[in-house]
Each structure stands twice: as structure tokens, then as C-alpha cells.
A and B are shown apart, each in its own frame.
Chain A
Amino acid sequence: MHIQLQQIVPVPLKDKFSKRGSDVWNNNLQFAPGEWIKIKAPSGTGKTTLVHILYKLRSDYEGTILWNNTPLQQITGDALAAMRQQQVSIVFQDLRLFPNLTARENIELNRVLQEPYCESSTIDAMAEVLGITHILHQKAALCSYGEQQRIAIIRAMVQPFSWLLMDEPFSHLDQQNITKAAALIAAECTKRNAGIILTDLEDDTFFKYHKTLYL
């Protein structure tokens, strides 16, 4: 699945970026299937905005985004849902778990939203790797931020996808857990031949990126 960005700039950041350049804003870009892309930027330059624009959570931008040559604006309703179920998975910066569901239910929900991609036991296996087996039965609201982050990562892994969007996915994890999570993600993406778009503040060596772009 190709992603093309044509002269994208968010309306609220328009003035700011008319003065200084950016690898992404006001540029023409193409992300090929399976590409792993790092987007690096300081705070307040629109990392989360970019992720939300790509995931079609907001549309207050100028320019055009094409998913497989279809303008994102034209993908709505059930087609958009199908895209989010089959093509694009996401780890939000603010995680967005259902506070009243348990950790397992949060993950399970994303697994059964479509024809399940993996077995239910996969959840246990992944939870084991990330060391959150003991909180699977706990309500998400009662989990620490680091635990919630790992729940959100596993949730993103149990569905089919060809692109994985991640917005500062490891911000609350220690180095050891980051290594484990990154290895898990890399394995899952390789298995699916999926692309990665990851935003973060600093340079990192979590993945073998094909490209690094500066916002």
C-alpha cells in the first residue's frame, strides 16, 4: 500500500512552516510498502498532528494524501473502518484504551473487530514477552502508564496491517522493555512485510529505518 503526501500542511501550523522548511510539510513524499520511516521532531512541530492526519482523525490540513492513489478525504464510513481493520494499525501517544475494560479485553476487542488475524493465545504470548501477564485481568484504568503503553502496543499487533503508525510509543518504558517491545514489533512487521511510521523526539536505534525525516 503506497502512501503519497502532496504539499501537506496543517492549517494551524501553516504560518510557522511558511517561514522555515520541513522534510514533510509542504513537500511531496512517497512511502513505499514495507518502508520503515522515522519522523523526528521537537515538541510542538506537529508529530501527533501528522499521525492523526495519516490515520484520518483530523482533516484540517491543506494538500492531498493518497492511500493507494485514493485521496484519504474520499475514504469514509465503512470503507475507512475496513482500512483501519485491514491496512493500518496504530499506537497513539495518548494510548486510548477503554478504561472500563480489562487489559485483555482491550486487546481482544481489536483482535475480533475483524476476522481474527491471530489466535487468542497470541495475546498471552505477547504479554509474556512484554512482562504484563499479571495485569491482563486488570482494568486498564488501574494500570500504570508504562503498562498501558505495552497494552496499546500488543493491541496494535493483533490485527492485520500493512502500515503501523506509532506516536512516541516507548515514552514511558525503560531501556530493557523498549528493546523487548521493539523486537516484538519488528518481528510482527517483518512477518506482515508491513511499513512503519514512527515519530519521536530524539534519534533512536529501535528499528533499522530506511528513512529519517525531520519535521
Chain B
Amino acid sequence: MLNQLLKKLIKTASGRARFLMAVAGLSVALLLILSAVQIQANYNELLYSKTNQDSVANFLVINKSVTEKTVGATNLSDADIADLKAQPFVDELGVLTPSRFKVAAQSISDQIPFYSDIFFESVPDEFLDVQTADWKWDENVNYIPMIVPNQFLDMYNFGFATSQDLPQLTQDLVKNLPMEIKIKTADGKERYYGKVVGFSDRISSVLVPQTFMDWANARFGTRENTKPSRIVIRTKDPGNPQLTSYLSNHGLTTDADKTRFSKYRQVVDTVVNISWITGALMLLFAVLIFSLFIELTVASCKEEIGLLITLGAAPKQLQRFLMKQFFPPNIIIALVVLLILSVLQWLLQQWLQTQHMYVSAVLSYTTLIAAAVILLVLWMVNRFSINKYIKRNA
């Protein structure tokens, strides 16, 4: 009964056009902001969910780009490495230790003769993509296990062997190929047996176990402690634009194929950001219009409100009544916007499925939380303006 009488006294109809404008503005603003949140959520899902990714972690070998300026000075300082390690996109970092002695490899077999000067590098075991029981070394083991890049074998089999009329080799054959490793020392040469125990797609270098490298460098190393020039990092997202921009800013380079997605990422990020900013600006204006609308309503009923308070209406009673008048439209707007977004999300899911990309068919919970947060902000703005204008009239 009281509400009916108050409704008769405090008419909101005086500003219907303004009310509709405020509603329209708020709806568009909410739609933009919440779509930005949803797009971001979808994008994250596409990037990080297991169905859309081959492997959870990615490894990148990073070194300084060799240009005219950096020739001969591609070593990475401790500071460079520490800085890279501190970046948020680096989960783990390993240093590739180079050999500080001269090495040559020679075939013992007569059928496949070869001799080549080579080099070794080593890397902590957790960065290897080859799992084998043969990957260990101590002074009692009579051979040096090696991991070579898959590309070496491919180059030999499809380039060298065919042009030189040599037999093609399988991985197993290479693993059984006996090899002599000659390490040049101050007083001649030390001879060891070598054995290929695996092929790596990850690191393009001839790898030996870290234990051997440390031992050999200490024993045969001719130069002082050489700084590393290559490192390997583990990252969740090689397409992260932050990563690519960090590398290019610091004159570093890596396998470009793995980071090419960062270009698309930047475009999407820009679009999402524009949507965010536009939505936030519109929300600001819509909130402003709403608050002006409340002020106008209260101002146009100034006398009635004054008399109501004179007769004993509590400011709290009037505030509660006005909140009931002004806030429910906001809830309805938010619900309608969420409904529209749900439909759009479902359609998007259907379409992406035909492209073999998988996103959730329902809205992400972050979108729902964002809607709730915005509603809370609107509630506070409504309450604040109503309290302010009632107090002014009391």
C-alpha cells in the first residue's frame, strides 16, 4: 500500500525517453564488456586447453642473433640469463654447456667410413625429449652416449646419401654404428668409443651427458671457463607476444616457426582491448546517465519528498522504495545480455567445431563473475546517488 502511494507521488515517467536512453546505453556497454571477457576466456581455452594443444609444455632454444655487430660476441652474460629467467613466460631455463676442447668422430666400420671434426654440447636432462637407459656416463663406462638432431639424419639420408651414391641409414643402424671419438689434448689425442643413443627434435646440437661434459671440460678444456651462448627454456605458450617482443628487444632469436602465433595473438589482443575500452567508456556514460536520471526524478519530486519526510517518512524508507524502482531494470538488462551472449557462444561453438577448434558451449564463469561485479558496481552507484539526493532534500 505504501509503495503504491509512493509510486503515485514519485513518478518516474517524467523522463521516459531518458530512461530508455540509459537502458540502451547500459545494455550495449554490458554487451561489449562481457563479450570482451568471454572472447578472452574462449581464446585462453583455445590456447591452453589440452584438446587444442599437442604438448603442454614447449621448449625453445634461444641464442643471440648473429649479425655484423654481434659476430664473435654472442655469449650470454650471467645478467642476461638471470633476466630471462625472471620473465613470467619462462617456466624453466637450462644452459647449453659447450665443449672447451677439440673433438673429432671417426667411423670404425669399413662399410660406412667417415671422419668429421665435431663439437659437443650438454644440457640438463629435464630438457631432453629422448628417454633412454643408455643416457648416462661415468669414468667406468667405456663409451660416450650422444644424442644427435633428427635433422642430421634427414640431411644425410635425403641429401648427402642420394647425391654421393651412399646407402641410406635407419635410426637403429646409426645407433649400432661403432664410432671412435678423438679428443685433442695438450699432449696428443685421447681416444674413446662413442655411441648415438637417440635423436632429438628439440635441440639441434650433438649432445653428451652433463656429467661427461663437466668432467671432460675440466680435464681437457684448453680455454678458460667459456660463457654459454645458447640456452633452452620451457614455456607454456611459445606464441606469447610478450616472449617474442622480449626476444627481439634483447637481440635474441629462436625457432621462428614456434612463435609465429604471436602475430595473430597480438591482433586478437588488440581487438579484445578495444572492446574492453569501448565497453568501459560506455559503461561510464551509461552509469552517468542513470545517475542523472535518478537525480532528475528526485528533483522533479522535490516537494513531495520534502513533505513525505515532514510527515515522518524515514529517509531509509524512501531510499528502499527508490532502489526498488531503479535497480531491477539493471538486473533485467544484465540477464538479457547474458542470454544474448549465451546464444552467441553456442553458435560460435557450433561453428568452431566445424573448424576443429573446441570451445565450451556455455559461458565461462569469468563472464558470469564479471556480470555480477558490474551489477554490484551499478548497485553501489544507484544507492550512492539515491542517498545523496534524498539527503539533499531531507
Q: Spell out A's residues near B (CB within 8 Å).
A: 57, 77-78, 81-85, 96, 98, 100-101, 105, 108-110, 112-114, 159
Cβ of B368 < 8 Å from any Cβ of A? no
- Does residue B316 face the partner (Cβ distance < 8 Å to A)? yes
* B-side interface mostly: helix
Known contacts A100-B9, A101-B5; A109 and B310 CB within 8 A of each other: no
Indicate if the CB atoms of B316 and A78 lie closer than 8 Å: yes
Closest residue of chain A to B11 (Cβ to Cβ) is A100
Give chain A's interface secondary structure class.
Answer: helix
Q: Given that A84-B311, A96-B310 are known contacts, is A109 also in contact with B317, CB under 8 Å in the complex?
A: no
Q: A109-B2, A112-B1 are in contact. Are A81 and B307 (CB under 8 A)?
A: no
A10 to B3, CA, bound (A): 38
CB-contacts of B40-62 with A (<8 A) = none
- Whether B323 sits at the interface, judged by CB under 8 Å, is no
Q: Nearest 8 A-B pairs (CB), nearest first?
A: A84-B312, A81-B314, A85-B312, A112-B2, A78-B314, A112-B1, A109-B5, A78-B316
Q: Which A residue sits closest to B390, measured CB to CB?
A: A77
Known contacts A105-B8, A112-B1; is-contact A98 B314 (Cβ 8 Å): no
Q: How far is the CA of A153 from the CA of B311 in the complex (A)?
A: 13
Given contacts A77-B394, A108-B1, A112-B2, contact A101 B9 (CB under 8 A): yes
Partner of B311, one of A77, A82, A83, A110: A110
Across-interface contacts of B313 in A (CB, < 8 A): 81, 113
Bound complex: CA of A113 vs CA of B316, how far in Å? 12
Known pairs A78-B314, A82-B314, A96-B310 / 4 extra A-B pairs, C-beta < 8 Å: A81-B317, A84-B310, A84-B311, A101-B5
Q: List 29 A-B contacts (CB under 8 A).
A: A57-B310, A77-B314, A78-B314, A78-B315, A78-B316, A81-B309, A81-B313, A81-B314, A81-B315, A81-B317, A82-B314, A84-B310, A84-B312, A85-B312, A85-B314, A96-B310, A98-B304, A98-B307, A100-B8, A101-B5, A101-B9, A105-B5, A105-B8, A110-B311, A110-B312, A112-B1, A112-B2, A113-B2, A114-B312
Task: Please report the C-alpha to C-alpha distance between residue A81 and residue B315 in the assembled complex, in whole angstroms.
Answer: 8
- Give the residues in chain A near B312, CB-CB below 8 Å: 81, 83-85, 110, 113-114, 159
Closest Cβ neighbor of B309 among chain A residues: A81
In the complex the two chains form, is B394's CB within 8 Å of A113's CB?
no
Complex CA gap A96/B303 in Å reads: 11
- Bound form: Cα–Cα A110–B8 in Å: 15
Please, which residues of chain B bring their CB within 8 A of the CB of A114?
312
B394–A112 touching, CB < 8 Å: no
Q: Which residues of B are found within 8 Å of A77, using beta-carbon distances? A: 314-315, 394
Q: Considering the complex, give the chain B residue whose CB is closest to the CB of A76.
A: B394
Shortest Cβ distance from B5 into A: residue: A109
What's the Cα separation between A109 and B307 when bound, in Å?
A: 12
Residue of A nearest to B313 (CB): A113
Give the shortest distance, in Å, between A48 (CB) and chain B (any CB): 14
In the bound complex, residues from chain A placing their C-beta under 8 Å from that of B1 are 108, 112
Smallest CB separation, A46 vs chain B (Å): 19
